Each structure stands twice: as structure tokens, then as C-alpha cells.
Structure 1
Amino acid sequence: MMQSEKERASGWFRQLRDEIVAAFEGLEDSQDSGPTADRAPGRFEVTETRREAPAGGDAGGGLMSVMRGGRVFEKVGVNVSTVYGELGAEAQAAMAARKGLPGMKDDPRFWASGISLVAHMQNPHCPAVHMNTRMFWTPHGWWFGGGSDLNPCIEYAEDTTHFHAVQKAHCDPHGAGEYDRLKAWADEYFYIPHRHRARGVGGIFLDDHCTGDWEADFAFVQDIGRAFLPAYLPLIEKRRVQPWDEADKDAQLVHRGLYAEYNLVYDRGTKFGLATGHDANAVLMSLPPMAKWT
């Protein structure tokens, strides 16, 4: 049942979570100018989450870490979880259709572990961001997925260039053309059909990834996770001191409306988390604290 591999993957996602939480709290500590600098530095509130098993019993859970009203972050969540059990009929059908697994009905067991992050910023010049990496197992196969994408309400070409360059540098060791493939996948996945536009400036996205070489695939998803902090932190360190006005804040709130629409209507992770009984607050952590629609 790949128990050792499952433990390694789950441990890695927890390690990545700890590194990101420490880095984000470090940003809060070092913010010493701007309209929010007189606040106490933000800290993550950590809550244990549990998955509801339909038949009762232990079905796993994780940690929901949320910071609200900080100096730099208006709301940021960094969740990590490891859940298991049996997929319901709807999830079985979706899995069978997407992965071509008719056997799911006969043996619907699953195990899933991952980290999911969404950050909404105080300063409208600081881009919002999403990142996740995950592993999914059933008796019929295992897969990895993950990626990150940048969601500025006020776009800066040099920020987009930096974000993508770091992603590419971490993808290139895993094969020529991998960055281009994952970038194109992100452009397609993070598109909002009813608005006829992307929700941000893209990034990388990988799903259902299984070459048959678990070690190679695990190394790839680790590098996707490792790319996040060097891709994102320099942008925040640069933009967090930039002056902003009410028009900038209004643009941010309208853009957040797009983000909320995408996550509630299209995001696979949101649908899976709610369908499998995971803590609803953790699943919906990605929603912004405030948004508006014109």
C-alpha cells in the first residue's frame, strides 16, 4: 500500500507548510512602514481539522493555519491535511471518468495528502497568490499534482517575469519542455469561462501526474513546492511599501470577486474537499475577506 511513500509525502507537505508559515510571519515582523505598520505583527491561528467519515471512525485531518488583519497579509491560509476512507458514489464516478478507473466502484478506498495556500494582501500593489501540492492514492494507482499562480489586481510586467522565471528554473531539471507544458496547463485551468478571461497572470499547474517512477514524480512535485517562496517573497518585499489609494483598493476588491467566482464555480480542490466531507472552513479558506462586484 506504499505506506512508506505516503508517510514521506505527507511529511514533506507538513515541512513545506512550516517553512512558509515561518517566512510569512517573518514578513509581518519586518514590516515597519506604511499604513498598517502600527499594528501588531500578524500571527497564524492554527486549528486542527477532521474529515467526517460517513460511517464514523477516523478519516484523517490536518491543520488549518489562518492569519487575518496583519501588517502585510489581510488574510492568508496555509492548510495541510492527510485524509483517507472511501469515496462516495459521486466522487467514484468522477474519478472513474477522469482517470479511466472503472474499478473504483469495486474498491473505492482513497488516501490524499497535500498543502494548499491562498494569500490576500493588504497593499493592492502586492499580488494575491495560490499554491498547492498533493498526492492522491487509490488501490488502482497514485498521482501527484500541484502548482502556483499569481493573481495581481494591479499588474507589473517585471513581477510576472520573475514569478515565471523561478517556476521555470525549478521545472527545467525535470525535462525540457516541462515548464512550457505546465504553464499552458495553468493558463487553461485558471481561466474563467463566464468572464472570458484568466483570473491572474498564470503560473504552473500539474494534475494526475504518474510516470510510474514514484521517486521521480515525488521529486518533481517537491520542486514545484520549493519554487513558491523564491518566486513570491521578493515581489511582496518590493511592493508592500508602495503607496496606494482608494482607487487601488477598489480595483483589488473587484479583482477578488473574480477569484471568489472561480473558486466556488470551477476549482477542483474545492469540489473534492466538500464532496468528501472535509472541514468546510478549511476547504473555503481560499475565499477573500472582502470583495465587490460592479
Structure 2
Amino acid sequence: MTTPNPAPMEAEKARASAWFRTLRDDIVATFEGLEDTQTRGPFADQPAGRFDVTPTKRTADDGSDAGGGLMSVMRGGRVFEKVGVNISTVYGTLGARAQNAMAARKGLPGMKDDPRFWAAGISLVAHMQNPHTPAVHMNTRMFWTPHAWWFGGGSDLNPCIEYDADTAAFHAVQKAHCDRHSPDYYPRFKAWADEYFFIPHRGRARGVGGIFYDDHCTGDWEADFAFTQDVGRAFLPAFTGVTQTRRDTPWDAADKDAQLVHRGLYAEYNLVYDRGTKFGLETGHDANAVLMSLPPMAKWV
């Protein structure tokens, strides 16, 4: 990670925060549109799902305002069994544990002397009604400290019943958007996702991958922001294409059982290894928003 001039970057922060809100609005509208057009299957006769939107708030240790966001969750829809689309913009000072982790992992020893931070982003996890329609995760974010700034994010597909064609289609969209910025990005960030979303205690990946990147700072904020925007733009065509293909596939009790077992694997990863979960809980963000990624039902064998 390149360390740029640690300027306040207020204009850049505002632009990034506004973009994550725009992306959130587009995704929410598209997902509600999928609900409206679902006219087949066992859930077609129930009302189309809609998002419940709740403001979230982060409070500093001294009781002062430290930012917040929106938690948007849809439960029990025609297509989505549970989907959350969260945005947040938070700021303040990192606690001792987070300071030490940042200093060690990011190579920023100055965090102990000046532990201020600012972070904004969008985080999405969708768990589907039809076991043939894969779950999905996506997030993009910007992080700033007085010592460095960077972007991170990605998206990955998590089917319980795998289809090679779906995997290829999802990855093709990711690659096309990465290639707009560098031919090196897709192979590098795909390999990073394969490593990051691996579950050591199970000896397997949690899904069929995608892309993942962190600490992304070339020193050119405009270029890095443009890339992060394209990662966000890639999500809807990549995921809704697969969803349209699979959402009417007939399924039975065995398929649903396989889905619940796979969700247990997903929950294990998010609670044990996921950086975003750990950071959110350690910095005092709304626990319900942080744990939004957990499935509504899961099973362990």
C-alpha cells in the first residue's frame, strides 16, 4: 500500500460516501423489481418483498456522535429469503486493539500516536429462497487515516448447488470491469479472493469465488475511486444474470437441506474469519448491522 499525502481529503470522502449511497439505491430498486416480477414457484402468491430501512448510529466512547448509516433488510420475499444492503460512514479514533491490528497489518505504526480514522462503504449479503439460486456477497469501501488512505472490496458467489455456467458468467462480468483499469487486476484479485474466502478448519472455499482487494492505493485517488466504482457497477449484471437463470428452477427437500448446510459454512466463515465483521464489532458499530450477513436459517450436520 502506497502512503500518500495524509491530507484531510474532505471532498474525496464526501464523493465516496455519496457514491456508496447511490449504489445502494440502485441495488435496492433492482432487487425489489426482481420481487415484483417473480410469478412462478412456491412463493409467487405471497406479497413481493420490500426492504425495511433502519438508520444506524455509531457512538464514541465519550458519547459523542461517530457516524452511522442505513441498514436495509428484506425478509421472506418471493426471490430473497433474506437480503441486507447496508451503507455507513463512520469516524473517530480507533481503540487500542484496532490500533495494534492496523499498525501490524497495514504497516502504519503512527496509528498509535494519531489513531483517527474515517471509513465509508456498502456491504451486501443475499440469501435466496430457491436453493439453485446462489447466495452472494459484495462490498466496497474507502478508509482514511492521517497516515494513509485506501480502497477495498469485491464480490463473490456462494452457491450450495454449483453450476459451472453460473460461475463462468459471474466471473466474466468481474473480469470485464477489472480489465477497464488494468489487465493485472482480475487475475490478482481473483487469486486474492480464492485465498481470502478459504475456510481453513473445513479445508475448502466458502463458494466459487469472485474478486477481493484491500489496501488498494496507487497514489492516484481518482483512478482508485473509479476502479472501486466499477467493482460496484459489476455487481448487478453479474448477480442478477445468474439469478434470472436459476430462480424458477424446481427444487425439493434435499436441495433445501443442502442449502441449509452450506449456510452453516457461510456463517462459520463470517463469525470466525471475516475482517469486516471483526472491525465492525471492535469499533462499536451497530451489532445488528454488522451481523446482517448471517443467514435466516442454517444447519450443521
CA distance in 2, matches of 1:170, 1:234: 15
Match of 2:35 in 1: 28
The alpha carbon displacement at 1:266 in A equals 0.1
Match of 2:4 in 1: none
**Structure 1 position 60 matched with structure 2 position 67:** yes
Unaligned runs of 5+ in 2: 1-7
RMSD: 0.4
The alpha carbon displacement at 1:234 in A equals 1.2
CA distance in 2, matches of 1:91, 1:73: 34
Q: Secondary structure at the match of 2:60?
A: coil
Instruction: Write out aligned runs for 1:176-187 (5 A).
Output: 176-187=183-194
Instruction: Write out aligned runs for 1:5-154 (5 A).
Output: 5-154=12-161
The alpha carbon displacement at 1:237 in A equals 1.1
Identity %: 81
The alpha carbon displacement at 1:118 in A equals 0.1
CA distance in 1, matches of 2:249, 2:82: 19
CA distance in 2, matches of 1:17, 1:220: 17
CA distance in 1, matches of 2:136, 2:183: 26
**Structure 1 position 267 matched with structure 2 position 270:** no
Number of equivalenced pairs: 294
**Structure 1 position 196 matched with structure 2 position 212:** no
Moved over 4 A (4+): none
Q: Deviations over 1:150-173 (max 9, x none)?
A: 000000000000000000000001
The alpha carbon displacement at 1:52 in A equals 2.2
CA distance in 1, matches of 2:69, 2:62: 20
**TM-score where L is the length of structure 1:** 1.00
Unaligned runs of 5+ in 1: none
Counterpart selection for 1:216 from 214, 223, 226: 223
**TM-score where L is the length of structure 2:** 0.97
CA distance in 2, matches of 1:192, 1:262: 6
Q: Secondary structure at the match of 2:36?
A: helix
Counterpart selection for 2:212 from 195, 205, 210: 205
The alpha carbon displacement at 1:98 in A equals 0.9
CA distance in 1, matches of 2:201, 2:186: 27
Q: Deviations over 1:174-222 (max 9, x none)?
A: 1122100000000000000000000000000010111100000000111
CA distance in 1, matches of 2:146, 2:31: 37
Instruction: Write out aligned runs for 1:160-171 (5 A).
Output: 160-171=167-178
CA distance in 2, matches of 1:285, 1:68: 11
CA distance in 1, matches of 2:37, 2:142: 34
Match of 1:235 in 2: 242
